[in-house]
Structure formats: structure tokens, C-alpha cells
């Protein structure tokens, strides 16, 4: 029985090694995927915080630029300084979009950055127009207007369904048409086709709608990254649980098979009463045996008679 237990124990140990290996693999994969999911969630949270912070910074710098450009002596310097600072802020978001965890999240974040840049170009042109155009600033105004209009047309094909609906609602409004007419007249140094109050109202409404379009796209990109992190975490837990369950099942099956394994064992029976154990007839013994005295006496008697 000791031999039987020894054989089964060795076979269980042999089966235990791959089972432990599967458990270790499951733990390693699970820890790796969980860490990746946590990093993805932290990246999404950092992106959301950075996007909100940059948006607030851009709005604040735009307001400061408009106020600084009221001074004719420092108008050009203020425009260049604040525009450069805004470009740097937008560029930081562009760099953050390149570190997205997957291609789809990076694409959506890049689209949001493009919308923010478009809104800035629109506000840049508007600040130049409000400050007053001359021969030097009219060209910059025309370039800013062309930049935000062509950029908005180009990015429209990259928007989500709700984003395209909002884009259509922006570009098909009366405010958009009035603003476009006013901008064309200003670029050509012609009188405004609408009153200044109507022009300012249209510019304000279009600027607000472009800001909403950026906010919606940015929130969608962040939510997409968060959903990717949740899916990664769920997949990590599911994969780890599946591998652990498989390892446990393998060990249970092997244990049952080893328990049923027939192992030939010769039992050793100890008889009761202190009697000697009967040996088989064919058994060969190498122990010295004393001669039988009765046999010796019979041989001597036969010799005497002869």
C-alpha cells in the first residue's frame, strides 16, 4: 500500500506542476491587463482634465486678447502674443491625443483638438474685425476666416452622428449666413450688409455653437477612452478567471484518474499465532538446513545389514 500511495503521489505531483504553471500564467495575465486597464482609465481622466483646463485657458486668453487689442499702439503685439499662447495650449492637447490607448480614441481626440483650433481661428478673425482692420490686419483676418471655414468643412466628415447634426444646425442657421456675409464684406473692405448689432449677435451665437460642438466631441472622446478601459478590465478579469478555472478542472480530473489507476501490489500477510509463513514450493532458499537425524539412522542401519 505504501508503494501504491508513492506512485499516486508522484503522478499527482507531475500533474500539479502544469496546474501551478497555469495558475501563475493566469495571475500574470490578470495583473498585466488590470494594470493596463487602470492606466487607460487614468489616461482618460487626465485627458478629460487637460481638455477642460485647456478650454478654460483658451477662453480666458481670448478675452484678454480682445481687451488688449483695444489699445491701438499695442494691438499687433497683443494679437501675436496671445495667439501664440493659445496655439501652445492647443498644441499640448494635440500631443496628449497622440498618447491615446488605441487608434479610435486617438482619432476622436484629434478631431476634438481640430474643433478647438477652428473655434480659435473664428475668434481670432472676430477679434481682428472688432479692433478694426487696416491694410496690415485685413490679410490676417482673411486667412483666419478661410482657415476656420475650410477646417470646419473638412472635419465635418469625421464627426459622430450627433456631431454632424449639430454641425448642420450651425451652418444652416441665419446667424451663420449673416456672419459669412459680414466677413466677406470686411475682407473686401466693403460696407457691412447688416447692422453692427446684427453682426455682433451672429458672431457671438456662432462662436457659442462652435464651442458646444468642441465640448461634445471632447466628451465623446473621453468617454470612448473610459469605455475602452472598462472593457480591458472586464476582459482581464474574465481571462484570469477562465484560466484559473481551467487549471482547477485539470487538477481535479487528473486526481480522479490517478485514484482509479490500477497498480500491481503483492500484499504481505502476517499469520496469527506466531506460525511461520508458508513458502511456495518453487521458492529457493539459500539458508543452510540441518540434516534430518532419522534419515541418517536409516542409512546406517542399511549399511549394517549389508
As a whole number of angstroms, the distance between CA 252 and CA 154 comes to: 62
Is the pLDDT reported for residue 84 higher than 90?
yes
Per-residue pLDDT band for 8 (boundaries 50, 70, 90) equals: low
**pLDDT given for residue 165 in this prediction:** 94
Show Cβ contacts of residue 37 under 8 Å, excluding neighbours closer than 6 positions: 229, 230, 232, 233, 236
**Residue of higher predicted confidence among 2 and 77:** 77
Mean pLDDT within 134-152: 93
**pLDDT given for residue 269 in this prediction:** 52
**pLDDT given for residue 201 in this prediction:** 96
Half-sphere exposure (Cβ direction) of 211: Cα atoms closer than 13 Å: 14
Mean pLDDT within 70-81: 91
**pLDDT given for residue 208 in this prediction:** 94
**pLDDT cut 70: percent of the chain above it:** 79
Per-residue pLDDT band for 258 (boundaries 50, 70, 90) equals: low
Residue 264 φ then ψ, to 5°: -65, 125
As a whole number of angstroms, the distance between CA 108 and CA 251 comes to: 47
Is the pLDDT reported for residue 150 higher than 60?
yes
Helix intervals (H) in 156-195: 161-171, 174-187
Cβ(41)–Cβ(228) below 8 Å: no
Mean pLDDT within 151-178: 94
Is the pLDDT reported for residue 296 higher than 90?
no
**pLDDT given for residue 276 in this prediction:** 53
**pLDDT given for residue 42 in this prediction:** 82
Is the pLDDT reported for residue 96 higher than 80?
yes
Mean pLDDT within 41-67: 88
Written as nine digits, the cell of 306 is: 549389508
**pLDDT given for residue 242 in this prediction:** 82
Written as nine digits, the cell of 210 is: 462652435
State the chain's mean pLDDT as an integer.
Answer: 83
Which of 159, 85, 74 lies closest to 120, judged by CA? 85
Written as nine digits, the cell of 1 is: 500500500
Which of 5, 6, 36 lies closest to 240, judged by CA? 36
Domain residue ranges in the chain = 2-244
Q: 200-225: per-residue pLDDT in tens?
A: 999 999 999 999 999 999 999 988 88
35-40: long-range pairs with CB below 8 Å, 24+: 36/232, 36/236, 37/229, 37/230, 37/232, 37/233, 37/236, 38/229, 38/233, 39/101, 40/101, 40/225, 40/228, 40/229, 40/232
Burial (CB count within 10 angstroms: exposed 0-12, middle 13-18, buried 19+), residue 8: middle
**pLDDT given for residue 169 in this prediction:** 92
As a whole number of angstroms, the distance between CA 52 and CA 222 comes to: 11
As a whole number of angstroms, the distance between CA 143 and CA 121 comes to: 9
Cβ(36)–Cβ(236) below 8 Å: yes
Q: What is the DSSP letter of 291?
A: P
Q: 56-68: per-residue pLDDT in tens?
A: 999 999 999 999 9
**pLDDT given for residue 126 in this prediction:** 95
**pLDDT given for residue 157 in this prediction:** 92
Which of 37, 83, 48 lies closest to 62, judged by CA? 83
As a whole number of angstroms, the distance between CA 92 and CA 89 comes to: 5
**pLDDT cut 90: percent of the chain above it:** 46
Per-residue pLDDT band for 35 (boundaries 50, 70, 90) equals: confident
**Residue of higher predicted confidence among 39 and 188:** 188
SS3 of residue 116 by DSSP? helix
Amino acid at each position: 500500500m505504501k508503494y501504491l500511495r508513492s506512485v499516486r503521489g508522484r503522478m499527482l505531483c507531475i500533474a500539479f506542476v502544469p496546474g501551478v504553471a497555469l495558475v501563475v500564467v493566469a495571475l500574470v495575465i490578470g495583473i498585466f491587463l488590470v494594470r493596463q486597464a487602470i492606466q487607460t482609465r487614468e489616461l482618460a481622466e487626465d485627458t478629460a482634465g487637460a481638455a477642460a483646463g485647456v478650454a478654460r485657458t483658451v477662453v480666458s486668453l481670448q478675452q484678454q486678447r480682445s481687451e488688449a487689442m483695444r489699445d491701438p499702439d499695442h494691438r499687433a503685439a497683443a494679437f501675436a502674443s496671445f495667439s501664440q499662447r493659445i496655439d501652445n495650449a492647443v498644441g499640448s492637447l494635440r500631443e496628449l491625443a497622440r498618447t491615446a490607448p488605441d487608434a479610435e480614441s486617438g482619432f476622436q481626440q484629434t478631431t476634438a483638438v481640430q474643433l478647438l483650433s477652428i473655434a480659435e481661428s473664428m475668434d481670432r478673425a472676430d477679434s481682428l474685425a472688432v479692433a478694426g482692420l487696416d491694410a496690415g490686419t485685413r490679410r490676417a483676418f482673411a486667412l483666419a476666416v478661410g482657415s476656420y471655414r475650410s477646417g470646419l468643412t473638412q472635419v465635418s466628415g469625421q464627426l459622430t452622428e450627433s456631431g454632424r447634426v449639430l454641425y448642420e444646425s450651425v451652418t444652416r442657421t441665419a446667424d451663420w449666413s449673416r456672419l459669412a456675409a459680414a466677413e466677406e464684406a470686411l475682407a473686401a473692405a466693403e460696407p457691412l450688409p447688416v447692422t453692427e448689432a446684427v453682426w455682433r449677435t451672429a458672431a457671438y451665437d456662432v462662436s457659442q455653437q462652435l464651442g458646444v460642438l468642441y465640448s461634445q466631441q471632447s466628451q465623446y472622446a473621453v468617454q470612448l477612452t473610459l469605455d475602452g478601459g472598462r472593457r480591458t478590465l472586464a476582459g482581464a478579469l474574465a481571462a484570469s478567471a477562465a484560466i484559473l478555472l481551467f487549471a482547477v478542472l485539470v487538477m481535479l480530473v487528473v486526481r480522479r484518474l490517478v485514484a482509479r489507476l490500477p497498480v500491481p501490489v503483492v500484499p504481505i500477510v502476517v499469520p496469527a499465532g506466531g506460525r511461520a509463513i508458508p513458502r511456495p514450493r518453487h521458492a529457493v532458499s539459500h539458508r543452510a538446513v540441518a540434516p534430518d537425524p532419522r534419515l541418517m539412522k536409516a542409512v546406517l542401519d542399511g549399511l549394517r545389514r549389508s
